[in-house]
Amino acid sequence: MLPSSRDSIRLRDALRHLLDNFEMRVREASNMDSLLKICVPLKDKIAHRVMLNFFGEGSFKMFGVDGSKVQEERLEMLLFYICAAGFYGNLEIDEKKVIIDISHAEWDEPLHISTTIPLWLEDVSNLNDSMEYSGSELELNRSIESIPYALMCMAELKLAYDAMVRNDVKVVFLDRLISGTYGPLARDFRLLLKRGYSAICNMETPYGDLSMLDLRLAGYLGSGDIHIPFRGPYAIYALIRALIREVTGGNNPLNLRELPEMLGLNPNKLKNIFKRLIKLNKHYNNALFNLNGNLLEFNEDMINYWRRAWFAADKIIRRIFGEFEDHPLMLNGQWITVLDLNTVNLLLLYKLVSTAVNRGKLLIGIVKDTGATDMIRACIPILKKIRGNMEMAIPKFRSDRALLSLISASNYEKLPTPWRSIEYDACLSTIIGRINDTITLEAARKIISREKFIVKGYFQLRSVKSDPSMRSAVFAYDRPYYEKFDSKMLKTLRCVEIGGEVEFKIPFEVEDESWIGNMALKILSQSDNPNIIEEMGHNHLLFLADKLVKLMVKQGREMIRGIADLDLMSTAHKYRAFFSARRFRDIRSEAEHIREVKAREM
């Protein structure tokens, strides 16, 4: 039956109701002057001074990297093509001016990588063992998709790192959030530890064979220069790092009675953490230390955990994206699983962030679409708590981007572009602010993520000249925590997580302005091309990198199709019985592909 007039009336009534609600939220947000304080316009002179301090004078390069992937399925075989590429822009800094030029972006041939990997459908469970007994089509597709996604992440991080270590490169843009990448990688690393083994363990390195304990320490400590809090599941690794520093300073063995004063910790708190450390040490057959009464003798060979782990990770990366004689995802007869790949990616991310911080370079992750609610769920309640402004209402929007876009458009006369939001610690994505008579903070999922690692914010770059209320999209960005510049923004919070209430310090921009945030906004504001509508307010280098990898993927798809059709058909004739057991969906897909090829030939 056709839709009736009654249906149209109901639809219009429902639409009016929704529009009324939307307009009410718009009015509420536009009348909240206090919300304007979460938006910070660009301060050009301050940005110039910070860039001189941060980078120094000279002519430098910026680099934007993006990756892509494609897969084809032929005769029960999956064929993956993964690539990443990037473009350079120019950055010139002196005492009088800053010149950012992306109009003559360059593509450097060596700074692109790609790989092709074949895989039988039957072997998917070998790479993602959580799907071994899955009978669901959806779960199988997710399992398949996890493989090229892990490889694409590796390609992007590897290329970004290759650019970061170049002396002339000072800024690297990623087409992904650093914090959004870290979360899933850390989760897969914990799953690897729970599984209890890895294909890359026992690999020979110049510093000894890699062990699971090495991987565990590397996955939590990185190279040792990343902040680790003395709370929750991180406390035991914060203690290990403190012990390693003492041993590195020549203090071995250590007197347990002197540890509380040495580390500046409450004796009872340290005692509880040390019990967990003893349990961990026993799990690894006392490979970490030996106890003799009150004396702790640390195994000094464990100081080299990062050297062994990074050597192994780098070898895996080179194997996948370099030359290999056998299958790139097999090592000594074992499959390199998705958990292994993402553990390597986690170490690569640590290496990238550490290189940026230690060498005075800026790493910026940008994401185009996000439904994050960090501002609404955590930042605004914390602002209310710090400023004691209980009258400040919490807006009811589905995402931070929607809220910030509305604040910007409705207050366009007060808020010129470019602007950014206040910066905050990315760990706030794991915190919820509860507002009753008082404001309490609690972990969204029992555990608060590590703080003082990644700092996050939002930005908007452009307005239409004829109508300033019409603006480019709001994008999310993040970057590493730089102790030298960000420590002045530290605020002390108390929050409830598993085990009780904890106190910790995070970078949160309230009274003290973020110097790095202002510098990042200066760079971003001159790195887009407003003449291209789909790029306006984003990033020109990432836009070009995206176009290039899409072209590479298109060519890669044709290449793997040609090879598959040439090499697999003879095998199909030889083993008809095996391929006759294929799923009907696969047979139909193959027939449709052959029909498309024949149609193009006509």
Contact present, 215 and 194 (Cβ < 8 Å): no
Instruction: Determine, yes or no, domain membership for 394.
Output: yes
Nearest of 401, 361, 404, 379 to residue 516 by alpha carbon:
361
Structural domain includes residue 67: no
pLDDT number for residue 189: 96
Q: What is the pLDDT of residue 581?
A: 41
Quick one: 378 and 513 in the same domain?
yes
CB 490 within 8 A of CB 507: yes
The number of helix segments (H) and strand segments (E) in the chain equals: 19, 22
DSSP classification of residue 2: P
| Cβ pair 425, 507 in contact under 8 A | yes
Spatial CA neighbour of 186 closest among 153, 208, 155: 153
- The secondary structure of the chain in percent helix, strand, coil, rounded to multiples of 5, reads 50, 20, 30
Q: How many residues does the chain have?
A: 602
Give per-residue pLDDT as tens, 236-274. Answer: 999 999 999 999 988 899 998 888 888 888 888 899 999
Looking at residue 572, its pLDDT comes to 59
> For residue 574, is it within any domain?
no
From start to end of 412-481, where are the E strands? 419-421, 424-425, 431-435, 439-443, 454-460, 463-464, 467-471, 475-480
Sheet-wide strand order for 295-298: 254-255, 295-298, 289-292
- What residues of the chain score a pLDDT lower than 70? 1-4, 25-33, 109, 129-140, 324, 389-394, 565-594, 596-598, 600-602
433 and 516 share a domain? yes
**What is the spatial distance between Cα 335 and Cα 126, in angstroms, rounded to a whole number?**
7
Q: Based on the domain organization, do 437 and 523 belong to the same domain?
A: yes
Q: Where among 537, 562, 586 does a domain terminate?
A: 537
Q: Are 440 and 497 in the same domain? A: yes
Distance CA 95, CA 57 (A): 7
Domain end call among 479, 514, 537: 537
| Total Cβ atoms within 10 A of residue 354 | 18
Residues 394, 259 share a domain: no
At residue 577, the pLDDT reads 42
Note whether 423 and 530 are same-domain residues. yes
By CB atoms closer than 10 A (0-12, 13-18, 19+), residue 96 is exposed
Residues 452 and 373 in one domain: yes
Residue 48 CA from chain centroid, whole number: 28
Kind plus residue range of the DSSP H or E element containing 507: strand 500-507
pLDDT given for residue 370 in this prediction: 82
Q: Is residue 505 part of a domain?
A: yes
β-pairing, 254-255 with 169-174? unpaired
Q: Please count the structural domains in the chain.
A: 2
Q: Which structural domain range is residue 251 located in?
A: 200-336
In terms of domains, do 375 and 484 share one? yes
Q: Which pLDDT tens digit goes with each residue over 290-303?
A: 998 889 999 999 99
The sign of the dihedral angle between the CA atoms of 432, 510, 42, 526 is negative
Q: Is residue 495 part of a domain?
A: yes
Within 13 Å and on the Cβ side, how many CA atoms surround 442?
10
Cα gap 86→549, rounded to integer Å = 9
Q: Judge whether 597 lies within some domain.
A: no
Q: How high is the pLDDT of residue 549?
A: 95
Quote the tokens at residue 136. 């669901």
308 and 378 housed in the same domain: no
In this prediction, residue 153 carries a pLDDT of: 97
Look up tokens 């990432």; give the residue: 542
- DSSP calls for 343-410: HHHHHHHHHHHHHHHHTT-EEEEEES-----HIIIIIHHHHHHHHT-TTS-----S-HHHHHHHHHHH
Q: What stretch of H or E contains 45?
A: helix 44-55
CB 220 within 8 A of CB 235: no
Same domain, 373 and 418: yes
- d(Cα 361, Cα 167) in Å, to the nearest integer? 10
**Do 332 and 373 share a domain, yes or no?**
no
Last residue of a domain, one of 289, 311, 336: 336
Inside any domain, residue 393: yes
Do 317 and 391 lie in one domain? The reply is no
Residue 108 included in any domain: no
